[in-house]
């Protein structure tokens, strides 16, 4: 291959613009010249100035916006973030997300930087009056959500959005989504994975880069068939942008603990599955810590839809709310409570305490999955199923089998012996799972075991459990 010095810059940029992150890294490893040229390209194209080009072209204003994000935990998502990662120009608004309690300073910032408040139907003409209207509504009905929303945002799930405020400056439209709880909770409830990308004041994150950037696919989240008209229109928009709609991933992905789509391990913002682009700080204020990486979640595959598995971590003002993988919540809350006295004594602040949550969570997410025999059994089941084209099981069924094996593990004193095989009955193929527990604990919830086994019979999965009690 020719050295980068022998290729025109315009041609090189054309090549690099069409490469995925993996392809870009591969190109950089071909020669010293390409490595240096790729570094320069990333500094120029994957930069905070490039991310907001056409929105905040003035460096002073961009720096002010970064400082604002750092002060209130404001996230940017939507077409702006997807355009940045995809190297495409998508028509769309500047979509911003902020916890309701911190949202007034965002609206004030827009108004002080040449934006005009553009009220929707039912909102007051004055922004500050409308903030009070929503605050009163939230006080009287805490779970109230935005009913009047712009068509561009209507495609998303709105169960934790308190209100959507619109601001306009010439042709630019900015939307401020004030959330009930963590802004990331809203983003994790988007209709599919390709739009789960965010800008903070310090970095850009693509949460599912393998699907979004490498495979040009998007997996549905919280969507049941048949699609509503709004959902169908939203997904059609992303199909036109070149994304293939995926209802569920391959079974091998969900049982592979190294996959970004597995139900075996939780995820967190900034983990090894994310594509993270650090941003240069162009603001004048002090660079605030980026707490977004304290957020974590899991993926669950249900019979009717896929969903994100997390719970809220509520912190006292002025700290924002966070979401955490539910199995981590007890650890996080226990850690925070242990710090209460130190905080009261002024020895540590909540910000420092929150930062340590990241160090607690991340090792847990890298730990080996418990029950190696159970995991090998699950992989063996998937291998058997996929080796026979005559039978097909959903991710939800495989997850239910795994959960059943987890219960069996909990009652077994020694690892159970599991035998798996397929049989044909008339024109139907049945998966048999025979489990032999030679030493079982005396307390077994047989009703739950039977209920779970019966639910799987409808999917042609027959479980036989033999227990010998101590």
Task: Look up the pTM and report it.
Answer: 0.90
Map out the domains of the chain as residue ranges: 4-45, 49-251, 372-469
**pLDDT value for 70:** 92
pLDDT per residue of the chain (470 residues) written in tens, 0 to 9: 445 556 666 777 778 777 778 788 887 788 887 788 778 888 888 899 999 999 999 999 999 999 999 999 999 999 999 999 998 888 779 999 999 999 999 999 999 999 999 999 999 999 999 999 999 988 877 665 554 544 444 455 556 899 999 999 999 999 999 998 899 999 999 999 999 999 999 999 999 999 999 999 999 999 988 888 888 998 999 999 999 999 999 999 999 989 999 999 899 899 999 999 999 999 888 888 888 988 889 999 999 999 999 988 867 766 678 888 888 888 788 887 887 777 778 777 766 776 676 676 666 666 655 565 666 778 888 888 777 665 678 999 999 999 998 888 888 888 888 888 888 877 788 899 998 888 888 777 888 888 999 999 988 899 998 888 76
Q: Which two tokens stand for residue 394?
A: 């959903």
What whole-number distance in Å separates Cα of residue 142 and Cα of residue 145?
A: 9
49-251 to CATH, choices 3.30.460.10, 3.30.499.10, 1.20.59.10, 3.30.390.30: 3.30.460.10
Helix axes 9-17, 32-45, angle to 10 degrees: 70
Q: Which two tokens stand for residue 3?
A: 């050295």
H-helix or E-strand spanning residue 403: helix 395-411
Helix axes 104-112, 127-140, angle to 10 degrees: 170
Residue 326 near residue 298 (C-beta atoms within 8 A): yes
**pLDDT value for 9:** 65
């Amino acid at each position: 291959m020719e050295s980068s010095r022998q290729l025109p810059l315009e041609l090189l940029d054309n090549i690099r613009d069409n490469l995925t992150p993996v392809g870009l890294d591969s190109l950089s490893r071909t020669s010293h010249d390409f490595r240096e040229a790729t570094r320069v390209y990333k500094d120029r194209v994957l930069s905070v100035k490039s991310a907001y080009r056409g929105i905040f072209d003035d460096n002073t204003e961009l720096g002010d916006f970064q400082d604002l994000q750092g002060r209130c935990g404001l996230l940017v998502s939507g077409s702006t973030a997807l355009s940045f990662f995809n190297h495409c120009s998508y028509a769309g608004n500047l979509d911003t997300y902020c916890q309701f309690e911190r949202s007034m300073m965002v609206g004030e910032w827009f108004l002080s930087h040449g934006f005009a408040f553009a009220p929707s139907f039912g909102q007051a003409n004055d922004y500050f009056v409308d903030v009070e209207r929503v605050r009163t509504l939230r006080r009287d009905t805490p779970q109230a959500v935005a009913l009047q929303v712009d068509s561009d945002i209507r495609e998303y799930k709105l169960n934790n959005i308190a209100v959507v405020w619109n601001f306009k400056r010439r042709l630019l439209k900015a939307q401020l989504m004030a959330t009930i709880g963590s802004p990331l909770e809203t983003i994790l409830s988007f209709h599919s994975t390709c739009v789960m990308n965010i800008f903070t004041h310090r970095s850009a994150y693509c949460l599912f880069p393998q699907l979004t950037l490498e495979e040009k696919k998007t997996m549905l989240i919280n969507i049941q068939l048949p699609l509503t008209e709004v959902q169908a229109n939203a997904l059609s928009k992303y199909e036109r942008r070149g994304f293939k709609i995926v209802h569920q991933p391959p079974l091998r992905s969900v049982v592979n603990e190294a996959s970004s789509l597995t139900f075996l391990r939780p995820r967190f913002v900034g983990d090894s599955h994310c594509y993270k682009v650090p941003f240069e700080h162009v603001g004048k204020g002090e660079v605030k810590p980026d707490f977004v990486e304290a957020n974590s979640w899991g993926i669950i595959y249900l019979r009717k839809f896929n969903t994100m598995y997390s719970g809220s971590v509520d912190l006292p003002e002025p700290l924002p709310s966070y979401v955490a993988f539910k199995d981590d919540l007890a650890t996080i809350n226990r850690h925070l409570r242990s710090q209460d006295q130190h905080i009261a004594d002024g020895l540590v602040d909540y910000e420092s305490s929150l930062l340590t949550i990241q160090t607690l969570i991340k090792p847990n997410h890298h730990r080996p999955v418990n029950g190696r025999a159970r995991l090998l059994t699950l992989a063996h089941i998937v291998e058997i199923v996929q080796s026979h084209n005559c039978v097909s099981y959903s991710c939800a069924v495989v997850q239910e089998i795994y959960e059943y094996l987890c219960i069996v593990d909990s009652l077994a004193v020694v690892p159970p012996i599991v035998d798996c095989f397929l049989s044909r009955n008339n024109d139907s193929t049945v998966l048999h799972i025979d489990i032999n527990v030679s030493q079982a604990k005396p307390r077994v919830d047989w009703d739950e075991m039977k209920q779970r086994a019966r639910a799987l019979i409808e999917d042609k999965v027959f479980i036989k459990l033999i227990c010998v009690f101590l």
